[in-house]
Amino acid sequence: MNKQAFGIFSIALTSLLLELVLIRIFDVLWYPNMAYMIITLAVFSFGLAGVYLSIRPVTANNRTWIWLSSATLLMAVLTLLILPALDRLPFDYMDLNNEGANHALRNFFLIYLVICAPFFLAGFSLSLIFSHYAKQIRRLYFWDLIGAAVGSVLLIPLLPKLGTVGILYVVGGFCLISSACFAQNKHWTRATLVLALITFIAPFGWSDIKTFSPHMDKRNFRTLQSVSEGTWWDPISKVDIIDYEEVGKIIGQDYTFKWIAYDGGTQTSYFYRFNGDYETLRASLPEDAKRHFWDSYLAISHYLKADSGAQVLVIGSAGGQETKAALTYNAAHVDGIELVGKVVELGKTVYADYIGNVMTDPRTDIRRGEGRSYLRSTSKQYDIIQINSNHTSSSIAAGSGAMQSAYLQTVEAYEEFFSSLQDDGILHINHHIYPKMVATAAQAWANSGKQNFRDHVMVFEASGLHDNLPTFLIKMTPWTTQEVAATEAFMSKFSFVVNPFNPDESFLSEPFFKPDFPKELIDKIPYRIAPPTDNQPFFNSLRKSTDELPTHESDVFVNSSISGLLNSQRATGIPIDVVHLIVTAGAALIFAFIFTLVPLFFSRAGKTKWKGKGSLLIYFSCLGAGFIIFELVFIQIFMKLIGFPLYAYTTVFFTFLFGAGVGSLMSEKLRLVENRKWWAPFAGVIISTLLLIFYQQYLFDLFLQFDTPMRIFVSIGMIFPLAFFLGMPFPLGILAVRFKPQGTVVSSP
């Protein structure tokens, strides 16, 4: 079985890797929430394969291996057809509102079928093996989980080198290896191995293999692709540099920047042209701000700390605008932390001269990293901590697909910001929904033992516009009248909405500046206002209902920016920020009905009466649900310790899969069977969970200050015992039904 075991390993690896790379592809083609929905639904094809084999079971004989080698060969072919299919079936869900709705729906349905097919064949292959060789399930399950574990980490090293399309070729190559492993014919084996080698080599030999056509014209990205200067894949985001100076020449505008387009235009930053003359730049501000920055608000904290030898931390340094603002006002040193390392690399190399060598200035240290992880690892105290529009457009990088975490906008995050600032330091944040930011920061302020929060807060918003990036300033000492006057003069284009010296004119009432935000106000406000915590880090989960918000109602703290943001997400009638949750939940119930009740009514295993049928159905359903719930919850828990969202996601997935695989293998050595010692793994799950709850906070506090590799290592050690025991119940269940009617044992998504 050694060769066949490696075939199982390859199928599991390709399934997980294909799922992850398709999420990244659809993050770019559409948006993260839609990517989550489409891939979640596609993975149900695993279950559909199980239904098929339950209704039409394949008898175990020598033809089993022919079925397996043929199915995995076809899986390779269909995987490689995903690229041309996506290029020929563009889907823009905005078209659902116009006369092109039928065409859009047809393309969506065809795309869904295209990406379902490989998962169906993977589920078919694993179901066939598990049902025919149920006696060896513990070893087979081990190889299945180990393969999935390896697949969960391969995306990180492969994506920057091969891009998503190149990884599709890698997936196809592993499918061909599976076909070779299952083949009993030597000629078949040799031919598929040769094809696998060619498929693996292909991405390295074709210079244009890393691209695919955009579906949506996000921020005019599709229109402007002709002036693209290059495309790079980072583990966090796809990065395109669009030459906006060339665009300006075409339309008669004087643009002074290159557009850094993340994930096909989902998010934006700029490389601004700069000659390195800080003195001239400083003299031109704030009037000429838009030629060098998004606007004057980006430089206000540095203006207030001008010539004071400020120590500055920029979280999300992107194209270097904040760093340039700090140097313009003579900061002594700037540390810049940026998730997308490729942008840092480009700013230090290809575009270094274009941006005035801002990132290579000896007064700067710009590096790839995650803000809170960096703060925990340093003892430095800063005069300014600046965060401008911290978002990621990657489902995986955010740590989850259904609900995007925002760990820079929690009560605990603000506590860390405050503790890292000098006695008169400034926290400068531009982010949407400032009422929620103020309430969150107020709770952190009180938790830090500080008082009179209102005296330390200023907020500005663009006048008469939907401003999704209001300027939020917190000073560790109270603002002075001179500082407020200077800020108001510099920010003359913006409106004061929270002024420490005119509380009666503030848009926000007194409870926003106090801890323990009152429940009656939480219930009254038509969007989610309660301060998020690390335990519930969903700052961007704003919508209470699918209703449209009023344009402006001050008594419930809705202004044009808040209503504009939430109402703009109703482009298709149903808010696109929650439609994926509605559709996925509905589809999950329908598919669960199909994948469980249908086999019971139409399959031999379902029609035949045998003892324990109902209890075993509940048993396997609870196992699958429990395993997934553990994974999703642990991603959120360990995001705090690991810090880097993508690493947290990968570490949790890898450890659960690897640990469960080892547990499955060890259950055979420990002689756990369905009628003897069956209770041991369940006792192990309970004990390891309780121990984790007991010592989790202590270990987090102990290791938060260590570097990332150590925190990942500690996380693996904490998760592994639970994962080890979770790998035992499934093979025990398979052993319990191995003598039941054919078609009882099938795979699940």
State how beta strands 421-430 and 471-475 pair: antiparallel
pLDDT at 401: 46
Q: How many CB atoms lie within 10 A of CB 652?
A: 27
pLDDT at 225: 84
pLDDT at 732: 77
Q: Hey, which residues does 268 pair with through a beta bridge?
A: 261
Nearest to 433, CA basis, from 536, 518, 507: 507
SS3 315: strand
Q: How far is CA 420 from the centre of its chain?
A: 27
**Residue 678 contacts residue 672 (beta carbons within 8 Å):** yes
Q: CA-to-CA distance for 24 and 394, rounded, in angstroms? A: 7
Burial of 505 (0-12, 13-18, 19+ CB in 10 A): exposed
pLDDT at 601: 66
Q: CA-to-CA distance for 128 and 67, rounded, in angstroms? A: 9
Long-range contacts of 195-202 (CB under 8 A, 24+ apart): 195/76, 197/173, 199/76, 199/80, 199/169, 199/170, 199/172, 199/173, 200/169, 200/170, 200/173, 202/169
Helix (H) / strand (E) containing 742? none
- Give the relative orientation of helices 186-205 and 63-80 as an angle to the nearest 10 degrees: 20
Tokens 């693209």 identify what position? 228
Q: CA-to-CA distance for 475 and 311, rounded, in angstroms? A: 15
pLDDT at 399: 44
The pTM assigned to this predicted structure is 0.87
Q: CA distances (Å), 311 to each of 378, 386, 480, in order?
A: 13, 11, 21
The vertex-523 CA angle with 521 and 524, nearest 5°, equals: 60
State how beta strands 257-262 and 267-272 pair: antiparallel
String of DSSP letters for 552-604 = -BGGGTB-HHHHHHHHHTTTTSS-TTTHHHHHHHHHHHHHHHHHHHHHHHHSH
pLDDT at 190: 92
Residue 187 has which token pair? Answer: 């000629």
**Residue 136 contacts residue 64 (beta carbons within 8 Å):** no
Burial of 140 (0-12, 13-18, 19+ CB in 10 A): buried
CA atoms lying within 13 Å on the CB side of residue 482 = 2
Block mean pLDDT (10 aa), the chain, length 749: 83 92 88 72 76 70 81 95 91 75 86 90 87 76 90 90 90 95 90 93 68 85 88 89 90 90 90 96 94 94 97 95 97 95 96 96 94 88 93 52 72 96 97 94 97 96 79 97 95 91 87 94 93 87 83 86 79 64 67 65 63 70 79 82 79 90 83 70 90 89 82 92 88 67 48
Q: CA-to-CA distance for 358 and 364, rounded, in angstroms? A: 8
Radius of gyration (C-alpha) of the chain in whole angstroms: 28
Tokens 């402007």 identify what position? 224
449 contact partners, CB below 8 Å, separation of at least 6: none
Residue 543 has which token pair? Answer: 């919508």
pLDDT at 2: 74
Q: CA-to-CA distance for 659 and 686, rounded, in angstroms? A: 16
Q: CA-to-CA distance for 296 and 290, rounded, in angstroms? A: 7
Q: CA distances (Å), 332 to each of 140, 290, 549, in order?
A: 60, 24, 46
Residue 140 has which token pair? Answer: 């087979």
Exposure pattern of 631-648 as b/e (b: 16+ CB <10 Å)?
A: bbebbbbbbbbbbbbbbb
Nearest to 525, CA basis, from 543, 539, 540: 543
pLDDT at 402: 45
For 436-480, the three-class secondary structure string (H helix, E strand, C coil) is HHHHHHHHHHHHCCCCCHHHHEEEEEECCCCCCCCEEEEECCCCC
Q: CA-to-CA distance for 281 and 291, rounded, in angstroms? A: 10
SS3 270: strand
**Residue 175 contacts residue 10 (beta carbons within 8 Å):** yes
